Amino acid sequence: MINDLSLTYQIGQRMMAGFDGPRLDEAFINLVKTWKIGNVILFAWNITDKEQLRELCQEIQQLVLEETGQPAFIAIDQEGGAVSRLPGDATRIPGAMAIAATGDPDNAYAAGRITALELRALGVNFNLSPVLDVNSNDANPVIGVRSYGEKPETVIRFALPMMRGLEDGGALSCGKHFPGHGDTSVDSHLALPVVDKTMDELRRIELAPFQAAVEAGIPAIMSSHIVFPQLDPELPATMSRKILTGLLREEMGFQGLIMTDCMEMKAIQHSFGTVKGTVEAAKAGADLLLVSHTASLAAASAQAIREALEAGEIDQAEWERSLERISALKKKYLNRPADNPSIVGCSAHAEENRKLLERTLTPIRMSGGQFPPLGDSPYFIGCAIFRATKVSNLADDPLTFPAYMAEKLGGRAEVTPSNPTEDEIAAIVARTTGASCIVIGTYNGHLNQGQLELVNRLASQGVPVIAVALRNPYDLRHLNPAIWSLAAYEYTAQIFDAVANVLQGKSEAVGKPTVTILSE
């Protein structure tokens, strides 16, 4: 039994850590050897291609098994769409809001199953998905398209099939971010948000998907770094015993694994400190403590947990129950045989995903059920992708919407600033003279109003304008009604191909929005 292990080994089983780069580094190796860290999280910067990822996971398992005697949870945020860690030679499913736009929960199941099969074949066994947040705040900078929609029933309808798909594909799933990150206007990666709702309001909206997931048997739930004053006026959910134990465990009946969001996020680091926050999360009832990036902080947190245990500040019986939960889930999920790596990015998955992507495209304004012809001189405009939130991948991709579309469909291309000024807007509009049609891609334009001003100014030229929202569809809410508009939900080559097919009339955009864009 794990609870027979020495204290260092026990602490290592309760923690999850990460490292920079595509190879195990010395600091991380020393962390595992010293503190017997038993679980690892991977990010996009750890991954270059599917073969490298498979070899890295093998190295991780070898290191952790040698040092701890137990296999490792290897976790990843493979939500799909805007939050995708898998490399380009794997299948990258659409994100939550895009899948919900198809109107068919079977698509969420299929997306989960494909993802789990490929993760398992590569050596990843724990997917930090589905997102159970209800995106009821359109100014939310961190959730947005990561949510299935603005109503709890929509989230439940699609998140639970995603969970089942991950389960049937052999991966551990994790609902997040309890008790709900959907009604914030602050990114908890950067600061500490506050959601001051009554318990009745929380039960009706935020908590409903989590309660449904608990009842459906979700194996793990991740806590959020948000203060809910009506639940605990002093501490964020991650550090609150009232929320993690009183609400989630005792009132809602969750018996699975509670894990924290990363304790290095500024909501915790700047307000409480990573080390103190990690100890308090353990006291609050979290089973798995996530320190994602810095080996020295993970080591300091492990030492502080040891001191708290030795001082009797952490309940011993509760500590042992956490170890038992971790052990049980490792036995259940980590001994399952994985598919042959050839399944990763295979033609069958690619074709299923291509069809799914096309069904996500959501027309917001169309005249006569179709978009205008591009003509012989289309002009493609839009900003390059940028890191809209810390949870997004680093924005170092040379891919741009305008250049890609012009290369594919002909015409001219111009990459614009992410929030153009009045002078820049005037200059861009002047350069579109002679265009037969203008296609502009927006990226979080609702939070960068210069983009939307540019779209509306372009519409005054007397030339057809098509706006394509390449992240949050809220961009399309305040556009001139004469502008054709399409929600595409992600900034990737695969969605650009799907958009190109719609613009050429080769396929039809059939998605339905799950958030309010236009008033009735």
Task: Kindly report, residue by residue over 25-74, the tens digit of the pLDDT.
Answer: 999 999 999 999 999 999 999 999 999 999 999 999 999 999 999 999 99
pTM of the model: 0.94
Contact 115, 339 (CB under 8 A): no
Q: Which amino acid is at 182?
A: G
Q: Any bridge partners for residue 362, and if so which?
A: 487
Question: In terms of Cα–Cα distance, which of 222, 225, 136 is closest to 187?
Answer: 225
Q: How far is CA 449 from the centre of its chain?
A: 24
Residues in the chain, how many? 520
Residue 432 φ then ψ, to 5°: -85, 0
Q: Angle between the 449-458 and 422-431 helix axes, to the nearest 10 degrees?
A: 30
CA distance 170 to 147: 23
**CA nearest neighbour of 493 among 454, 441, 450:** 441
H and E: helices and strands count for the chain: 18, 15
Residue 277, pLDDT score: 95
**Cα angle, residue 355 at apex, residues 352 and 359 outer, rounded to 5°:** 135
Extract the tokens encoding 225: 């770094």
Tell me the sheet residues that pair with 192. none
Catalytic residue check, 261: yes
Give pLDDT, residue 512: 96
Listed as ranges, residues in the chain with pLDDT below 70 are 1-5, 185-191, 367-369, 387-397, 519-520
Instruction: Classify each residue of 147-176 as buried b or exposed e, where b means 16 or more C-beta atoms within 10 Å of its C-beta.
Output: bbbbbbebbbbbbbbbbbbbbebbbbbbbb
Spatial contact of 310 and 53, defined as CB atoms under 8 Å apart: no
Instruction: Say how far apart CA 113 and CA 109 lie, in whole Å.
Output: 6
Provide the 3-class DSSP secondary structure of residue 360. helix
Q: Nearest 5°: CA angle at 205, between 200 and 209?
A: 120
Yes or no: say if 105 and 161 are a contact pair by the CB < 8 Å rule: yes
> 19 Cβ partners below 8 Å, 6+ apart?
25, 27, 28, 46, 293, 295
Asked if omega into 179 is within 30° of 0 (cis), the reply is: yes
Instruction: Identify the DSSP state of 260.
Output: P
Given 77, 183, 187, 261, which residue is catalytic?
A: 261
The CA distance from 52 to 275, in Å, is 32
Per the structure block, which two tokens stand in for 37?
A: 């860290």
Which is it for the CA torsion 197, 200, 204, 208, positive or negative?
A: positive
